């Protein structure tokens, strides 16, 4: 795992944009416009995702906010996302975690002064993120032994997957890292740290277990959503998937192809099967999809899909600088809107495959009764 | 009078506290600098390690020691060897020879890593590279052959530079085969390496030797061909016996890669 300063990072591939309406929406809900959101303000569904999945909005029913931050740190470090890594480090500092403790955690999580349950949770989150191969229910056994319930483990899985999503959103367009790296070091931030910490803590209200409503129990990739049933995060995930697939910038077929490629690359049968189903709905026969997935090309693909399909594969395992160079190559061949949507869909496709462990857990445990 | 003494004592105490605080701060700074230096050193060791094994393996070895589980997995193995290098080495100054070889290895390693492979070992003037050995990679055969074509291009550029320096050109033979092999960390506690063992490795090595028999630079087996994108232009060659292989080995010379999606397998020797 790379330390922050050692992560090579390209120049940003996107310019921040102004969109007063979107900014008002974000500010109204989050009381600020996060730095990363400024680069995606022209993509309504990504903006809505930023809002819905902000830790102040997606309530956590089982995982404490401080553990959620540590999961973000470990997963960002694992994915070598310099942007998210720096952002999480800064938040931890603002919240009052001493630099020495952060360093100990980065250097060797096993030696950090954490309790056994926290270490088990972080190791599991790392395993979910790494996906070589995808984590399964078996990988969750140390957490069960450490005292976590099944729903808590599912929430940890969700948090790891959510950070996989954010890491790709920030890494693929190489969002500029300096503002995040310097955030906690500004003199005014040092002065206002107690206030900022209070502001951050006040935004994080604990959630309660929630059952999915009937309308949220069906739809594309429903198995992943149902696996999170009982968590407050399940319904926002349903909305995110529906939002992404219904956005008109890239065709539904192009997006399903991204899911198929990522599902194949990560050996996620649920995601791949669902992507095949969507592609059949879009008029592609299974044997045509087989050919596309075998070679990441086909005469069946339209010019945009020819760019998107091979790139989707690049988003699975990468060194940041390598995938950012590939992203730069395709940036010229897509419009800004298409490029942004591709980033969002690829990030989502990678994230939902990480929820396989939650599917495993849901299959092997009875649903929790929610009052 | 007593007030003056009290104030003086207070001032001395305050001075002492400030002095102690400053000493403490400088001591903390010094310790932090030492810690940073140690961390850098550790990173350097880790980077050095990662030249010999994929980062994923380095992480696992650091976390769990050498006792990481070996596993069977589908891998594509690429052997590359310089043709007539021994003869060349007899004519060149050793320093020049090492410089040429190191530059060649640096460039070839970059090409392999750009195509998601990793160099598992250097074997004199040759090397073995693996695709799909660490991370699951359903496109590993395509990656390996794209890497081979990249190596061909790279060598063309490098030979131009060598010609300019009036140095002899390099020629390479590349053999690629795929199959299920055992991947893991193998060796003693003092000297270990991440590698794969099994028949795909042996056959890939034999296929590389066959490049001399057929007079071509890149050869793949039928198993690789079956997984390749049809845009690769292949030429089927006559089966030939290879040491240690019971059946004559059918191989395909890789001619190039075309953007139009068409199957391009020509008959023997055409």
Question: How do residues A183-239 score in pLDDT, each as one tens digit?
Answer: 888 888 888 888 888 888 887 778 899 999 999 999 999 999 999 999 999 999 999
User: What pLDDT was estimated at residue B264?
Assistant: 43
Where is pLDDT greater, at B206 or B89?
B206
Q: What is the dihedral of CA A52, A56, A58, A63, to 10 degrees?
A: 150
User: What pLDDT was estimated at residue B1?
Assistant: 62
pLDDT band, residue A366 (cuts 50/70/90)? low
Which of B136, B139, B229 comes nearest A267 by C-beta? Answer: B136
* Closest chain B residue to the Cα of A3, Cα to Cα: B43
Where is pLDDT greater, at A201 or A136?
A136
Question: Is the separation of the CB atoms in A304 and A253 below 8 Å?
Answer: no
Which of B39, B56, B231 comes nearest A132 by C-beta? Answer: B56
The residues on B that touch A, with CB distances below 8 Å, are 35, 39, 42-43, 56, 59, 63, 114, 116, 134-139, 142, 227, 229-231, 261
User: What pLDDT was estimated at residue A200?
Assistant: 83
Nearest by Cα to A203 from A29, A21, A15, A5: A29
pLDDT band, residue B65 (cuts 50/70/90)? low
**For range B153-180, the mean pLDDT:** 96
Q: Do B63 and A110 touch (CB under 8 A)?
A: yes
Strands B126-131 vs B71-82: parallel, antiparallel or unpaired: antiparallel
Judged by phi (left if over 0) then psi (alpha if -120 to 50, else beta), residue A136 lies in beta
Question: How do residues A86-128 score in pLDDT, each as one tens digit?
Answer: 999 999 999 888 888 888 777 776 566 788 999 999 999 999 9
Whether pLDDT at B47 is above 80:
no
**For range A247-253, the mean pLDDT:** 98
User: What pLDDT was estimated at residue B269?
Assistant: 41
**What's the angle, vertex CA A25, arms to CA A24 and CA A31, rounded to 5?**
75
**For range B244-270, the mean pLDDT:** 71
Question: Is the separation of the CB atoms in B237 and B230 below 8 Å?
Answer: no
| Cβ-based contacts under 8 A for chains A and B | 43
CA dist B246 and A58 (Å) reads 63
Q: Do A264 and B138 touch (CB under 8 A)?
A: yes
Question: Is the separation of the CB atoms in A209 and A343 below 8 Å?
Answer: no
Residue matched to tokens 């959103």: A169
Nearest by Cα to B167 from B105, B100, B82, B103: B100
pTM: 0.85
pLDDT band, residue B270 (cuts 50/70/90)? very low
> Which segment of A342-351, B121-130, B172-181 scores lowest on mean pLDDT?
B121-130
Nearest by Cα to B78 from B125, B123, B119: B119
Contacts 24+ apart (CB under 8 A), A202-206: A203/A30, A203/A31, A203/A54, A203/A55, A203/A56, A204/A55, A204/A56, A204/A65, A205/A56, A205/A59, A206/A59, A206/A60, A206/A61
Nearest by Cα to B222 from B207, B209, B212: B207
**For range B152-166, the mean pLDDT:** 96
Contacts 24+ apart (CB under 8 A), A13-22: A13/A172, A13/A173, A13/A174, A13/A324, A13/A327, A13/A328, A13/A331, A13/A339, A14/A39, A14/A173, A14/A175, A14/A336, A14/A339, A14/A340, A15/A39, A16/A41, A17/A41, A17/A42, A22/A47
Give the minimum alpha-carbon distance from A313 to chain B in angstroms, rounded to a whole number.
9
Whether pLDDT at B109 is above 90:
yes
- Non-local (6+) Cβ contacts of B135 within 8 A are A132, A317, B56
Residues in chain A within 8 Å Cβ distance of B229: 294-297
Of chain A, the end-to-end C-alpha distance in Å amounts to 42
**For range B151-167, the mean pLDDT:** 96
Whether pLDDT at B10 is above 80:
yes
Question: Is the separation of the CB atoms in B250 and B221 below 8 Å?
Answer: yes
User: What pLDDT was estimated at residue A107?
Assistant: 75
Question: How do residues B257-268 score in pLDDT, each as one tens digit?
Answer: 986 544 344 444
CA dist A292 and A308 (Å) reads 12
User: What pLDDT was estimated at residue B183?
Assistant: 85
User: What pLDDT was estimated at residue B263?
Assistant: 39
**For range A248-253, the mean pLDDT:** 98
Residue matched to tokens 């060897």: B81
Interface ipTM > 0.95: no
Nearest by Cα to A353 from A249, A221, A263: A263
CA dist B129 and B64 (Å) reads 25
> Which segment of A263-277, A322-336, B26-40, B101-115 scores lowest on mean pLDDT?
B26-40
**For range A345-353, the mean pLDDT:** 98
Question: How do residues B20-35 score in pLDDT, each as one tens digit?
Answer: 888 887 777 777 666 6
Question: How do residues A14-66 score in pLDDT, each as one tens digit?
Answer: 999 999 999 999 999 988 999 999 999 999 999 999 999 987 788 899 999 98
**For range B140-168, the mean pLDDT:** 97
SS3 for B233? strand
Question: How do residues A259-317 score in pLDDT, each as one tens digit?
Answer: 999 999 999 999 999 999 999 999 999 999 999 999 999 999 999 999 999 999 999 99
Q: Do B261 and A1 touch (CB under 8 A)?
A: no
Question: Is the separation of the CB atoms in A18 and A316 below 8 Å?
Answer: no
Where is pLDDT greater, at A341 or B41?
A341
CA dist A142 and A116 (Å) reads 10
Question: How do residues A139-164 score in pLDDT, each as one tens digit?
Answer: 999 999 999 999 999 999 999 999 99
Average pLDDT along chain B: 84
Query: DSSP class of residue B270?
Result: -
Q: Do A266 and B135 touch (CB under 8 A)?
A: no
């Amino acid at each position: 795992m790379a330390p922050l300063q050692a992560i090579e990072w390209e120049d940003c591939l996107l310019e921040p944009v102004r969109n007063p309406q979107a900014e008002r929406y974000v500010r109204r809900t989050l009381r600020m416009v996060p730095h990363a959101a400024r680069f995606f303000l022209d993509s309504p569904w990504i903006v809505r995702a930023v809002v819905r999945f902000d830790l102040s909005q997606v309530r956590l029913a089982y995982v404490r906010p401080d553990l959620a931050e540590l999961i973000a740190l470990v997963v960002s470090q694992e994915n070598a996302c310099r942007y998210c890594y720096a952002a999480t480090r800064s938040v931890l500092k603002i919240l009052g975690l001493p630099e020495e403790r952060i360093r100990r955690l980065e250097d060797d999580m096993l030696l950090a002064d954490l309790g056994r349950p926290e270490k088990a949770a972080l190791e599991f989150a790392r395993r979910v993120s790494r996906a070589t191969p995808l984590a399964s229910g078996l990988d969750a056994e140390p957490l069960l032994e450490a005292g976590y319930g099944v729903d808590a483990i599912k929430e940890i899985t969700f948090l790891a997957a959510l950070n996989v999503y954010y890491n790709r959103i920030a890494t693929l367009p190489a969002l500029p890292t300096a503002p995040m790296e310097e955030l906690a070091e500004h003199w005014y931030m040092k002065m206002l740290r107690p206030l900022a910490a209070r502001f951050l803590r006040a935004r994080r209200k604990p959630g309660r277990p929630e059952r999915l409503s009937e309308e949220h129990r069906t739809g594309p990739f429903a198995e992943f959503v149902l696996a999170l049933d009982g968590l407050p995060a399940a319904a926002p995930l349903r909305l995110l998937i529906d939002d992404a697939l219904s956005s008109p910038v890239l065709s539904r077929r192009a997006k399903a192809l991204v899911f198929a490629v990522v599902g194949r690359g990560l050996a996620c049968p649920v995601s791949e099967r669902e992507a095949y189903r969507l592609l059949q709905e879009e008029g592609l026969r299974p044997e045509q999809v087989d050919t596309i997935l075998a070679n990441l090309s086909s005469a069946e693909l339209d010019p945009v899909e020819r760019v998107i399909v091979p790139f989707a594969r690049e988003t699975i395992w990468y060194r940041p600088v390598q995938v950012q160079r590939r992203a730069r190559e395709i940036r010229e061949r897509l419009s800004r809107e298409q490029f942004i949507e591709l980033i969002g869909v690829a990030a989502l496709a990678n994230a939902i495959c990480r929820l396989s462990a939650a599917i495993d857990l849901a299959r092997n445990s009875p649903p929790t009764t929610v009052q | 009078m007593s007030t003056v003494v009290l104030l003086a004592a207070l001032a001395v105490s305050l001075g002492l506290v400030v002095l102690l605080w400053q000493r403490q701060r400088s001591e903390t700074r010094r310790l932090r600098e030492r810690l940073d230096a140690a961390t850098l050193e550790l990173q350097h060791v880790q980077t050095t390690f990662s030249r010999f094994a994929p980062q994923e393996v380095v992480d696992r070895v650091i976390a769990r020691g050498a006792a990481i589980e070996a596993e069977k997995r589908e891998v594509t193995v690429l052997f590359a060897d310089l043709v007539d290098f021994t003869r060349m080495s007899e004519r060149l100054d050793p320093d020049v020879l090492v410089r040429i070889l190191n530059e060649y290895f640096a460039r070839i390693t970059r090409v392999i890593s750009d195509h998601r492979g990793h160099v598992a070992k250097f074997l004199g003037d040759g090397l073995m590279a693996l695709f799909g050995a660490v991370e699951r990679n359903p496109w590993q055969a395509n990656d390996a052959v794209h890497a081979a074509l990249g190596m061909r291009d790279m060598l063309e550029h490098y030979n131009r530079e060598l010609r300019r320096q009036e140095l002899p050109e390099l020629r390479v033979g590349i053999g690629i085969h795929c199959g299920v092999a055992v991947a893991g960390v193998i060796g003693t506690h003092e000297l270990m390496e991440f590698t794969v063992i099994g028949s795909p490795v042996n056959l890939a090595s034999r296929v590389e030797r066959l490049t001399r028999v057929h007079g071509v630079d890149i050869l793949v087996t039928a198993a690789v061909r079956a997984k390749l994108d049809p845009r690769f232009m292949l030429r089927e060659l006559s089966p030939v016996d290879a040491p240690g292989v019971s059946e004559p080995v059918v191989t395909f010379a890789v001619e190039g890669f075309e953007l139009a999606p068409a199957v391009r397998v020509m008959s023997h020797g055409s």
